[in-house]
Every structure is written in structure tokens, then in C-alpha cells.
Amino acid sequence: MSIAAALGDVQRDNLQGSPQPQRRGHFVPYLLMLPGLLWLGVFFVVPLVTLFMMSLQTAVPGGEIGEYEQTFHFANYVDVLTDPSYYTPLFRSFIYAACATVLALLIGYPLAYFIAFKSGRFRNLFLIMVIAPFFVSFILRTIAWRQILADEGPVVAAMKWAGFFSDGIGGIYPSAIAVVLGLTYNFLPFMTLPIYASLERVDPKLVEAAGDLYAPGFTGFRKVTLPLSMPGVVAGTLLTFIPATGDYVNAALLGNSKNTMIGNRIDYAFLNTNDYPTAAVLSFVLMACILAVVLVYVRRVGTEDLL
């Protein structure tokens, strides 16, 4: 056998054996995804399926309160959707969440802009101050707003001093304003941090180039900085709006019976009346409504055409 033929055989063997490592490595990404998939399956898919099956149950005839059986009663959804008593708290939840999201955006964007471009060596300190509220319990932070917004609190005292309130008028708590302020405060970090992450990635040379082209400061911000930060704005608004819509703690602690949100109705059905099917149906209705709003929002204000 010639040397050329021997080299050709060796090359052929190498080419035939080369796909084996590729096939072996083909499963590596799936193995890396396995822990996350298991986590989602156990803590998301299983509870979601369980909640859906619960929404199709009916009370056991002659049974005790809270005793249900699986009958696949899809009419539970019809009963809830045709009950007008649920419309007002559902609509109120979206209104409160939208107001809190707008307020969080108006507060969070300038704050994120300042931290990203103006904070200098104190940037880490300001970031810690943004996330510091997470070190305290959500409920304790909300209860603290009772004292802040109460009649004898600093907010009402300052507004009375400024002439907005007279001595005969009560404070802000409890009211819809208190609920919206509580939602804004509790979810403000969810708005600020994504916007900061987007602003931090903006190349300062692009802003300087806008100035070199004689663009005024606000025009440069509107044409360069704001579009480049829109991914963070979209992420922040979603991270604020979605949990704020389903929240019930702020309405329970800072509001009254006129400020009930749909989350409070779900909580009451689960823990007080033991009406598990109705609570499960309301949960799915809320999820469906949020999903519809999010899809419309992302489609209209998505980031695909902004980058």
C-alpha cells in the first residue's frame, strides 16, 4: 500500500469518527436546561394544572363547607364571567396598577438616569439604596405607609402647611390614593433597575455625537437616549404592572371597602368562604386579562422596532 493510500485511509477514518463527539455534545445544552425545566415543572406547571383542576370542581352534595369533588364543571367560568360583582374590583385593579406604573416610571426613569450618568463614584451606593427596601418585609413596608399617610403623618402635615388640606379634612389613609402610592413605592425598584441596566449600556459617544450635530439636550435625549433605553422601559413597566394588578396587600392595608381589588376577592374566597373553585376561576380570569393586556402592550410598544 502506498503512503498516499495509507494517509487517505487515516483521513477517511478520522472523518467517519468525527461526528461522534458532535453527537455526544448535542445533548449538553439540554442537560444544562434540565434543572431549570424541572424547577418550572414542579413549581409552575404542576400548581397551574392543580389550580385549573380546582376551578372545575363543585361542592359535594350534603358535604361540609369547603368539601369539593372533581366534576369538570366548566360552567364555573360562565358563572364568574356573568357575575357583575366581580367587574368593578377587576377594573379597579387595572386602574390602580396602571396609575402605579405611570408614577413609578415618572420617578424611576430620572432616578435611573441620574445613577447611570451623574452618580460617579457613588453609583453603587445609590443602587444599594434602590434595593434596600427589599431587605424589609413587604407587609412591614406597607404598614409603615399607614403612619406616613395618616392624619398625624408627615405627608398630611406638609400638605396642610402648604394649604392643600384644611384642618377639618382627614388624611390620605385610607383611600385609593394611599393604595396607589403604596403600590408605587413597593414596586418602584422593579421599574428603576431595568431602566438603569439599559441606560448603563448606552454608549456616551452616541450622546456626544448628537451634541456635535447641534442637537439640543432634550432633542438628543429624545432621539438617542430614550430609544436606546426603551427595552428597560418596557421590561420595567411589565415588571411593575403585572404584580401590581394581582396585589391585594396594599388594598387591604391602605384602603377600605371601596378600594377592593380583584386580589382581595380571590383572597377572601380562598381563606374566608372556602370557595376554592370560584377563587381558582377568578385567578385564571385575572391571568387571562393580564396576558391579553401584556400582549397588546408588547405588540404596540415592543422593542423590536426601537433598536
Query: What is the C-alpha to C-alpha distance for residues 210 and 207, in angstroms, rounded to an integer?
Result: 5
- Between strands 68-70 and 57-59, the pairing is antiparallel
Say what the pLDDT of residue 5 is.
Answer: 55
The predicted pLDDT at position 169 comes to: 60
The predicted structure's pLDDT at residue 67: 87
What length does the chain have?
Answer: 307
Q: Are 263 and 246 in contact (CB under 8 A)?
A: yes
Q: Give the integer Cα–Cα distance in Å for 165 and 159.
A: 6
Contact present, 144 and 227 (Cβ < 8 Å) = no
CA 50 → CA 1, 59, 202, 284, distances in Å? 71, 17, 44, 12
As assigned by CATH, the class of the 75-301 domain is: mainly alpha
**Planar angle of CA 7, 12, 16, nearest 5 degrees:** 150
pLDDT score, position 25: 60
Give phi and psi for 166, each to the nearest 5. Answer: -100, 170
| Per-residue pLDDT of the chain in tens (307 residues, 90 and over written 9) | 555 454 455 455 554 554 555 555 677 888 888 898 999 999 999 999 999 999 999 999 887 877 899 999 999 999 999 999 999 999 999 999 999 999 999 999 999 999 998 888 899 999 999 999 889 899 999 999 988 888 887 888 888 787 777 665 666 888 899 999 999 999 999 999 999 999 998 888 887 787 767 777 778 788 888 888 999 999 999 999 999 999 999 999 999 888 999 999 999 999 998 999 999 999 999 999 999 999 999 888 865 544 3
Contacts of 293 (CB under 8 A, 6+ apart): 94, 241
Residue with cell string 413605592: 185
Report d(CA 65, CA 49) in Å as an integer: 23
* pLDDT value for 306: 45
CA–CA gap between residue 132 and residue 239 (Å, rounded): 18
The answer to whether 256 and 179 have CB atoms below 8 angstroms apart is no
C-alpha cell of 11?
483521513
DSSP, residue by residue, 161-227: HHTSS-TTS--S-SSHHHHHHHHHHHHHHHHHHHHHHHHHTS-HHHHHHHHHTT--HHHHIIIIIHH
Domain ranges of the chain: 1-55, 75-301
Q: Would you call 269 helix, strand, or coil by DSSP?
A: helix
pLDDT computed for residue 24 by the predictor: 59
